[in-house]
């Protein structure tokens, strides 16, 4: 007998709030094991997890689709891409939650990473299409460089520090200074 509402209810409450955009740490959720649930309960819970991830991914994609085209210069475009990477971190955190069984975690991470790679590829293709619309070649190349240097897939490779927003400390002094003669 559960003293609280049980693992199902804990996860369901978290997923409802998190899927609506509230912050939350999936590390605090209890460990799930399929054998602890009746078949239909397990299936409902897995569907709830998938639905919550899908809602957050959809909101993420809609925000990126609104902010990136509105960017007037490359700095604003890079900022939009960086904000998009920040928003991916909690999605990947839920997909890789330690409370999930290994096979579920692997499938969710593969799904999220596949979506991110797909969006990155679509962005690249959209900018390449600008060449055919008469956009100046320098503007197309600048936007391509911005999209590639601020790749969304950096989050899937674990190479982007999402907490501070920088991959390197911009205030750190270089180790060696080269002074020309």
Taking only the tens place, the pLDDT of each residue in 86-133 is 999 999 999 999 999 999 999 999 999 999 999 999 999 999 898 888
Q: What percent of the chain has pLDDT over 90?
A: 63
Determine the Cα–Cα distance for residues 53 and 87; give it in Å rounded to an integer.
12
**Cα–Cα nearest to 115, from 61, 55, 47:** 61
The pLDDT of residue 161 is 45
The full length of the chain comes to: 181
Q: What percent of the chain has pLDDT over 70?
A: 85
Determine the Cα–Cα distance for residues 63 and 81; give it in Å rounded to an integer.
10
**5: pLDDT confidence band, cut at 50, 70 and 90?**
low
Taking the CA atoms of the chain, what radius of gyration do you get in angstroms? 20
**2: pLDDT confidence band, cut at 50, 70 and 90?**
very low
Per-domain residue ranges of the chain:
6-157
């Amino acid at each position: 007998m559960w003293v609280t509402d049980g693992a199902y209810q804990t996860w369901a409450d978290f997923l409802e709030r998190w899927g609506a955009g509230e912050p939350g740490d999936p590390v605090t959720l209890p460990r799930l094991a399929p054998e602890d649930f009746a078949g239909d309960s397990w299936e409902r819970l897995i569907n709830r997890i998938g639905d919550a991830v899908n809602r957050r991914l959809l909101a993420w994609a809609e925000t990126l689709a609104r902010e990136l085209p509105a960017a007037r210069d490359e700095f604003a475009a890079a900022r939009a891409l960086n904000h998009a990477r920040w928003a991916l971190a909690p999605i990947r955190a839920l997909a890789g939650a330690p409370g999930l069984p290994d096979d579920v975690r692997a499938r969710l991470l593969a799904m999220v990473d596949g979506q991110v790679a797909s969006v990155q590829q679509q962005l690249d293709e959209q900018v390449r299409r600008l060449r055919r619309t008469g956009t100046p070649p320098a503007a197309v190349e600048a936007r391509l460089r911005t999209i590639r240097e601020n790749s969304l897939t950096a989050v899937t490779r674990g190479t982007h520090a999402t907490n501070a927003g920088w991959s390197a400390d911009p205030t750190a002094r270089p180790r060696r200074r080269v002074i020309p003669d």
